[in-house]
């Protein structure tokens, strides 16, 4: 069995498998400056894969950040696909627009909405989206799932970041509100017969589920 050094090397290998380009590296620098934590490179690559698999033309992102996950999603979506991204932080979305511009993403492909997700999502159209990705308030993940199931078409995908929650989710003795909420949404996805789920260990863990009903 590999030791901790071997596991760390394997994780580094996974994260470096698809190197990020300059627009993504610049977006990560902005994220550090603004104090937000983007998805890891491997998690971003997984999001691009998901968007490509479903041929996404319309996607929703909950938590814009500086555009790291959004750029990965846009690169996996159809060339005419539109990403609707929701965030409460105007400065983060300004940075995301800069990221998308540097990557050559046409402005109409990124629809950035400033506001609280649970106020914005109910205004979006039922069954009109191919993919919903959540990376915002962990205590709201259960409500994001409810909204995602309404927004997704059959055959669409919902995904959540931070599902390992810095290795806290697996620790039965940890009961803070965020960790409990993450465990609860994981159980809800796993037990929903209209979803086919998978939990991958890339980054801080990404939970994805295909809606089949």
| Domain residue ranges of the chain, discontinuous segments joined by + | 4-211
> What CA–CA distance (Å, rounded) separates 185 from 86?
20
Could you tell me which CATH class the domain 4-211 is placed in?
alpha beta
- Amino acid 203: pLDDT: 94
How many residues in the chain? 213
CB 134 within 8 A of CB 62: yes
Those residues with Cβ within 8 angstroms of residue 211's Cβ, 6 or more apart along the chain or in another chain: 149, 152, 153, 154, 155, 156, 157, 158, 194, 195
Mean pLDDT for back-to-back runs of 10 residues, the chain (213 residues): 74 92 98 97 98 98 98 98 98 98 98 98 98 98 98 98 96 95 98 98 96 91
- Amino acid 116: pLDDT: 98
- Amino acid 7: pLDDT: 78
> What CA–CA distance (Å, rounded) separates 72 from 69?
5
- Amino acid 6: pLDDT: 72
- Amino acid 5: pLDDT: 77
Phi/psi of residue 143, nearest 5 degrees: -70, -35
CB 187 within 8 A of CB 203: no
> What CA–CA distance (Å, rounded) separates 213 from 210?
9
Q: How far is CA 46 from the centre of its chain?
A: 9
CA dihedral 171, 173, 174, 180 (to 10 degrees): 90
| Vertex 38: Cα angle to 113 and 94 (nearest 5) | 35
- Amino acid 2: pLDDT: 56
DSSP state of 128: -
Prediction pTM value: 0.95
- Amino acid 119: pLDDT: 98
DSSP state of 104: T
- Amino acid 8: pLDDT: 86
- Amino acid 3: pLDDT: 66
């Amino acid at each position: 069995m590999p030791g901790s050094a071997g596991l760390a090397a394997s994780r580094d290998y996974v994260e470096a498998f698809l190197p990020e380009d300059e627009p993504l590296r610049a977006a990560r620098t902005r994220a550090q400056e603004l104090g937000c934590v983007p998805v890891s490179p491997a998690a971003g690559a997984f999001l691009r894969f998901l968007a490509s698999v479903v041929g996404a033309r319309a996607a929703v992102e909950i938590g814009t950040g500086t555009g790291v996950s959004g750029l990965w999603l846009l690169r996996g979506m159809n060339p005419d696909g539109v990403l609707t991204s929701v965030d409460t932080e105007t400065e983060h979305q300004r940075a995301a627009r800069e990221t998308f511009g540097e990557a050559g993403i046409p402005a109409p492909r990124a629809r950035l909405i400033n506001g609280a997700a649970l106020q914005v999502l109910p205004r979006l159209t039922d069954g009109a989206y191919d993919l919903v990705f959540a990376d915002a308030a962990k205590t709201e993940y259960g409500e994001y799932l409810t909204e995602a199931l309404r927004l997704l078409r059959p055959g669409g995908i919902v995904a959540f970041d931070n599902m390992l929650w810095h290795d806290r989710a697996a620790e039965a003795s940890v009961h803070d509100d965020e960790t409990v909420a993450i465990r609860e949404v994981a159980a809800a996805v796993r037990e929903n017969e209209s979803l086919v789920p998978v939990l991958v260990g890339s980054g801080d863990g990404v939970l994805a589920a295909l809606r089949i009903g």
